[in-house]
Amino acid sequence: MTKNKKKLGDGVGVPSGMKSVVVSVLISGLIVVGAIAFVNSSGGDSSGFSSATTGDNVSLVGGRQIVEIRAKGGYLPYRSIAKADMPTVLRINTNGTFDCSAAVIIPSLGFSKILPQTGSTDIDLGVQPFGVLWGSCGMGMYPFEVEFQR
């Protein structure tokens, strides 16, 4: 831990230009997210967004809850509501998914995987505490989250 900090401090150091790079990356990220939101709301049926926040993509099977999302040009629903303190499986379905949402990462679990272009992938999330589990495509451009409630 301390070793890493030291390494950052001496030697190369953080160039002052780094900050503006980070800022511009954040801004371009926001633009991308905004563009996606625009595309999502203009295409398809208009009820897409509101139904994306309900918990109807969660089912109970044999004492486990299965949270099912779809990966293709992003993740749907973007936000899932699940129960905390319960064995949980995240099922990600792909169907002709050739974009980067086939590369899934869940940073807090150290999880990353390339999904099949078409298929169903179960990810064991274990028992999650109250809180929000966040995931995205490998580049962090398409986010999704599972909110664990009590």
**Among residues 128 and 136, whose Cβ is nearest to Cu ion?**
136
| Candidates 1-9, 39-47, 94-102, 116-124; binding stretch for Cu ion (CB under 5 A) | 94-102
Return the amino acid letter for 53.
T
When asked if residue 139 is in the footprint of Cu ion (CB under 5 A), the reply is yes
When asked if residue 141 is in the footprint of Cu ion (CB under 5 A), the reply is yes
Cα–Cα distance between 13 and 7 in angstroms, integer? 8
8 Å CB contact between 18 and 43: no
CB of 77 to Cu ion, least distance (A): 18
Cα–Cα distance between 145 and 68 in angstroms, integer? 12
**Among residues 99 and 147, whose Cβ is nearest to Cu ion?**
99
Among 67, 82, 92, 137, binds Cu ion (CB under 5 A): 137
CA dihedral sign of residues 92, 130, 54, 61: positive
**Among residues 33 and 141, whose Cβ is nearest to Cu ion?**
141
| Candidates 12-20, 21-29, 58-66, 99-107; binding stretch for Cu ion (CB under 5 A) | 99-107
When asked if residue 25 is in the footprint of Cu ion (CB under 5 A), the reply is no
Cα–Cα distance between 66 and 101 in angstroms, integer? 20
Can the peptide bond before residue 77 be classed as cis, meaning omega within 30 degrees of 0?
Answer: yes
When asked if residue 102 is in the footprint of Cu ion (CB under 5 A), the reply is no
Q: Which residue, chain included where needed, has tokens 């109970």?
A: 60
